[in-house]
Structure 1
Amino acid sequence: MIPRPPAVPPGHPSRVPPGGDLPGRRKMQHFAAAALYTALVLLALWIVRDFIPAVAWACVIAISLWPAFRKLERQPVLNGRTTVIATLLTVVIAIVLVLPIGIGIAQAAAEAHDVTLWLRNVEQNGISMPDFITHLPFGSEQVMNWWNMNLGQPLKASPAMKGLHGNAVVTFGRHFGVRAAHALMLFGFTLVTLFVIFQAGPSLSGALLKGMRRAFGTDSAQLAERMAAAVRGTVSGLVVVGIGEGVLLGVAYAMTGVPHAALLGLITAVAAMLPFCAPVVFCGAGLWLFIEGGTAAAIGLVVFGFVLVFVAEHFVRPVLIGNSTRLPFLLVLFGILGGAETFGLLGIFIGPALMTVLMVLWTDFVR
């Protein structure tokens, strides 16, 4: 019988693995795994970088319509038919977004012939001086002389008109076509992503909340819900108020005799979704009325527009956004404007959500 070797104590050097300390090796493995996962995630984001805006827009729309999705899901007729609900909501969003653009394109196509005739007349005869210039309280003679020297004569030989027939128009058309194709592709992928998000339904939201709890703790789910509320409040405050301003100012355009009142009201609604942009549209309409001799109508339209914008921007919109996110008005304003400056149009909705995170972190810090 062969005798067994004596047992080696746990702390003896011969028990140490040849690769070194086992806890140290595990730490190195965790660090290497984290670095590998981070690199893979960054590589994946870099590959899909052109589609990130589409996914972000789809997430914003899905978060905004999530209460409507849940209400439809609870209906007996649609219970369990997630694909039908996803198709219905996606089609509605497509119609709501495409219809105004289609109306604008149709209106522009209808006016293209008149614009072409006007440009030809300007080339041959120049631009006639408006009547209101002769009634200016001061400086009318200087303005008339400048107008006659620069605009009153035939503009066929002017550099601006030559540019309209040169390579500048071709280059502009090419860039515009590329941008339009890119926007159309982005819109298509947004609709596809939106359909997938709605089709996944509650399982997707449950998985996201579970993953956030596992990765960042139990408070992260509450923070995510508040960020979603911030996005919904921002959409309500911007879109709903913008549509309301567009409808009311569209009625004012029609009453004061502004041409194409419906189209101009649609443009005003889109501009009103951006803070303090609606005055650009209705002030332009007021200037047109003033040039045409409707001084009283122009003053009334501008005054009504500024009163409407003041009420919407200082009372209605902060209430809709601030109540849903519990943010002060100043943070709401900074979030919208700063987000728009940093991320473009998408930042209007991202900014208040980030301000909500900042507010939650500050509240937890001062407790």
Structure 2
Amino acid sequence: MPFDSRARTVARVAIAILVVLLAAWVARDFLVALTWAVVIAIAVWPIYIRCAISVLGGRSRAVAPLLFTFLTGLVLLVPIALAVHQIAQGSDAFAHSLNKLQQSGIPVPAWLARLPIAGEYLDLWWRTNLGDPEVLIDWLRGVNTENITAWTSTLGGALLHRLVLFAFTLVALFLVLRDGAWLADRALATAGHLLGRPGQRLVRKIADAIRATVSGTVAAAIVKGAVIGVAYVLTGVPHPLLFTVLTMVLAMVPLGAWAALAAAVLILLIHGGTWWVAAGLAGFGAATLLIGENLVQPALIGGAARLPFLLVLIGIIGGMQSFGLLGLFLGPVIMAALLTIWREWIGGED
């Protein structure tokens, strides 16, 4: 008995859903990389189009996306390369310091004994444990080298996996930029076929929210890094330019700027900085990061995406809790989609 039209429609939908789920399962390890490529492509698309037309004249479909993909890779890799270079430069000094520690122990900081309440106790503990070379060597011998080796091997495997995903992201970014106009038309056509004109408005709103989130996040990271960078210079942190760049870059990663700030404070103390100067840097940096993350960044994103401040804040925090770093961008996008659907239901724009 042949199927009627309704049964055929249900069968087509069921088969389509099954195929989509199977495809997502097969590509599950690459979905994050694909999502990053789409997010980056949507964020840089207006700049990419202007540069492709004005500089290259649109003569080649491959040169412009290849150039933008290469520049994206440089922007992401240069700060990491700078940090690795600085670490490599300091490896000789670290080896010399390690040999010195084995001979004389770790000297007690002058400011430790002046700490209120627990200063004398901490000074005595430091001299007894860290200041005695024999005790320090015994402590180092007690470290489980097998665990360290296993941890290093795991870290190396995870790093290799991340490098493969990064390379896949760049390849996907090149393809998305090259065929971006065609993909955008297909997305609008699909949304219009499924949902009508509200679906097309939803797609446009999602694209606007992605651009606003990326631009707001980058702008807030630059502002936070620059302000804290001034504090690095004033307090005498070694290599202040490097720490400023690292703070800007890591400010786009959850808790990244806090790690850069903590490293700068620690380096300042190691190089002879007083404890009250280090405390002042830590307090000023923490205040700057709190204001930037909870006020400046949501305001920048909300203003560009026409989202209420509270929805942006919920989207950023909840998105990172749910999706990790990618949720920093997906959270506000989901909130923008929710607001767009609500506006369509009530039939208004505001």
Q: Same fold (TM over 0.5)?
A: yes
CA contact (8 A) 1:51 1:186 kept: yes
Q: Tell me which residue corresponds to 2:248.
A: 269
Q: Which one-letter code corresponds to 2:95 in the other structure? A: T
Q: Tell me which residue corresponds to 2:164.
A: 185
Is residue 72 of structure 2 the alignment partner of residue 66 of structure 1?
Answer: no
CA contact (8 A) 1:227 1:353 kept: yes
Q: Tell me which residue corresponds to 1:5.
A: none
Q: Which one-letter code corresponds to 1:183 in the other structure? A: R
3-state SS, counterpart of residue 82 of structure 1: coil
The 1:77/1:285 distance shift into structure 2, 3 A limit, reads: closer
Is residue 74 of structure 2 the alignment partner of residue 95 of structure 1?
Answer: yes
Q: Tell me which residue corresponds to 1:57.
A: 36
CA contact (8 A) 2:111 2:274 kept: no
Is residue 337 of structure 2 the alignment partner of residue 357 of structure 1?
Answer: yes
Aligned-CA RMSD value: 2.5
Equivalent residues, number:
344
Structure 2: gaps spanning 5 or more residues: none
Q: Tell me which residue corresponds to 1:334.
A: 314
Q: Tell me which residue corresponds to 2:19.
A: 40
CA distance in 1, matches of 2:255, 2:73: 27
Identical positions, percent: 36
Q: 2:121 aligns with which of 100, 119, 142?
A: 142
CA distance in 2, matches of 1:288, 1:47: 46
The 1:226/1:274 distance shift into structure 2, 3 A limit, reads: same
CA contact (8 A) 1:238 1:274 kept: no
Q: Which one-letter code corresponds to 1:232 in the other structure? A: R
CA distance in 1, matches of 2:34, 2:24: 12
Structure 1: gaps spanning 5 or more residues: 1-18
Cα offset for 1:295?
Answer: 5.3
Matches within 5 A, 1:116-127: 116-127=95-106
Alignment deviations for residues 88-132 of structure 1 (CA, whole Å, 9 cap, x no partner):
111111111111111111111122232233334434443222111
Alignment deviations for residues 29-66 of structure 1 (CA, whole Å, 9 cap, x no partner):
32222222211111111111111111111001001101
The 1:207/1:251 distance shift into structure 2, 3 A limit, reads: same
Q: 1:157 aligns with which of 138, 153, 161?
A: 138
Alignment deviations for residues 245-297 of structure 1 (CA, whole Å, 9 cap, x no partner):
22342343133211122222122113322467535543553465467343564
CA distance in 2, matches of 1:66, 1:108: 36
The 1:314/1:348 distance shift into structure 2, 3 A limit, reads: closer
Is residue 87 of structure 2 the alignment partner of residue 105 of structure 1?
Answer: no
CA distance in 2, matches of 1:297, 1:354: 43
Larger radius of gyration: 1
Matches within 5 A, 1:76-91: 77-91=56-70
Q: Tell me which residue corresponds to 2:301.
A: 321
Q: Which one-letter code corresponds to 2:342 in the other structure? A: W
The 1:304/1:133 distance shift into structure 2, 3 A limit, reads: closer
CA contact (8 A) 1:57 1:346 kept: yes
TM-score by length of 1: 0.84
